[in-house]
Amino acid sequence: MGLELYLDLLSQHCRAVYIFAKKNGIPFELRSVDLRKGQHLSDVFAQVNLQQKVPALKGRDFILTESMAILLYLAHKYRSLTVGTPRTTQACARVDEYLAWQHTTLQRNCLWVLWHKG
């Protein structure tokens, strides 16, 4: 079994993980979790993430939750790909800074658009 990503692409956090993996050619199986239908609240999904939130990453013997942790894990694990992972400590800090910024800033604004346009 390969890498599985549990995502609902309506979620900005899930889209960030999905886009990163696709852009960098990281092989994964998409496991759709429809938040609007409450699929994340099922007992089956609770075995993947006890907090019943997406995104979640499941490997052979490893489960990781939280979009920031997943993005950093993928960046480190697939460093050989052209993921744009910089080589210096300061450059790495700038990537982490951007990831933290998008995590807080984009989520708030994207959520507002989804609720008001949807």
* pLDDT value of position 115: 56
pLDDT (0 to 100) of residue 111: 62
Cα 37–Cα 104–Cα 35 angle in degrees, nearest 5: 5
Q: Cβ–Cβ contacts within 10 Å for residue 102, how many?
A: 17
Specify the number of domains making up the chain.
1
Q: Which domain holds residue 56?
A: 4-117
Q: pLDDT truncated to tens, each residue of the chain (118 aa)?
A: 589 999 999 888 899 899 989 988 999 999 999 999 999 999 999 999 999 999 999 998 899 999 989 988 988 888 744 545 556 788 777 777 777 776 677 666 666 655 555 4
| Predicted pLDDT of residue 105 | 72
Nearest in space to 16 (alpha carbons), one of 98, 115, 116, 112: 98
| Concatenated DSSP letters of 1-57 | ---EEEE-TTSHHHHHHHHHHHHTT---EEEE--TTTTGGGSHHHHTT-TT--S-EE
Q: What's 56's domain CATH number?
A: 3.40.30.10
